[in-house]
Amino acid sequence: MTPIPNQLLRILISRGFVAEGAISHRLVGGRTNQVWRVARARGDVICKLFAPPAENPLYPNNPAAEFAVLKRLSGLNLAPEPVALIATTLGDVLIYRCVEGGPWRQDSRRVAQMLGRIHRMTPDMPLRQIPSGTAALRAQIARILAGCREPEALLAIEPNVADVPALPDPRLVHTDTVPGNIIVTAKGLQLIDWQCPGLGDPAEDISAFLSPAMQLLYRGKPLDHGQRQSFLAAYPDPEIVRRYLALAPLYHLRIAAYCQWKTEAGDAAYGPALVAELSELKKPRANHHQAGDDDAERQISRLPE
């Protein structure tokens, strides 16, 4: 187990966050920042050292935004309890109380219910605006592919999607709701790694969770049909589910474009993820999405408006 670098440990000790001789070990799973668990008598903390700023077309890495969201969600058992955000010579460091539990693996209904709670909150924070609706998603996909060396295959895909306007009342969204960021605790599910939040369409979070590529990367396999439908039926806002179903082909294409960008950047894990996302995207709309739409419509019709 790799302990926290001595230089960073000395900073934490000097500022009173941990005691002299604190035991620590690095956590695995994150793909961008370095994270350690540091022992304290009054409760362990997570110490997250942010990587230097780097261009990412879909997932920015913003420590101030993460700290702001954690403060907003404090006391709601939806995210870790924040301790501090400090600037150091090594980079920005976020400290929050350790969440005891393990990454999500099963029961997609619980994830839908947790996201529904978050999406109902008043988004009273100055966060970035997330592309919402058909036109904005198409423009975002074009920007991602513009950064790829070999975008031709994805540029040739033209999903048949009816026009969906931007959501008039943007909500708080996480944007990276992959299984590794969903922790199963004794008190329920909590979302970690809020470094790329924003104000936008809750369908954003639904698409990230249901993405075959992201499920493959973080859980080892995509969700099956029953798990997808259980999630959609359990999500508490039927209108948002309908928005997601209408926009799903564009969300799949956007994730595929991102996987292409990551693969070209040298991350080999995104090659199989790209194949998984394209497999979902290329299923005939009439045979796949429409069938899924019908199933979901029957289920969400039972929910209160």
pLDDT tens, position by position, 131-166 = 999 999 999 999 999 999 999 999 999 998 999 999
Residue 78's CATH number: 3.30.200.20
Q: Which domain holds residue 194?
A: 102-300
- Residue 248, classed as helix, strand or coil, is helix
Residue 229's CATH number: 3.90.1200.10
pTM for this entry:
0.92
Q: Which residues contact 33 (CB under 8 A, 6 or more apart)?
A: 48, 49, 50, 51, 61, 195
What is the distance between the terminal CA atoms of the chain, rounded to a whole angstrom?
50
- DSSP character string of 174-220: -S---GGGEEEETTEEEE---SS-EEE-THHHHHHHH-HHHHHHHHS
Residue with structure tokens 């409760």? 43
Same domain, 222 and 247: yes
Same domain, 139 and 210: yes
Same domain, 256 and 122: yes
Total domain count, the chain: 2
- Residue 25, classed as helix, strand or coil, is strand
Contact in structure between 181 and 293 (CB atoms under 8 Å):
no
Same domain, 65 and 82: yes
Same domain, 161 and 291: yes
Same domain, 171 and 35: no
User: What mean pLDDT, rounded, does the chain reach?
Assistant: 92
The last residue of a domain, from among 66, 97, 128: 97
Predicted confidence at residue 285, as pLDDT, reads 57
- Please write the tens of the pLDDT for every residue from 24-63: 999 987 778 999 999 999 999 999 999 998 899 999 999 9
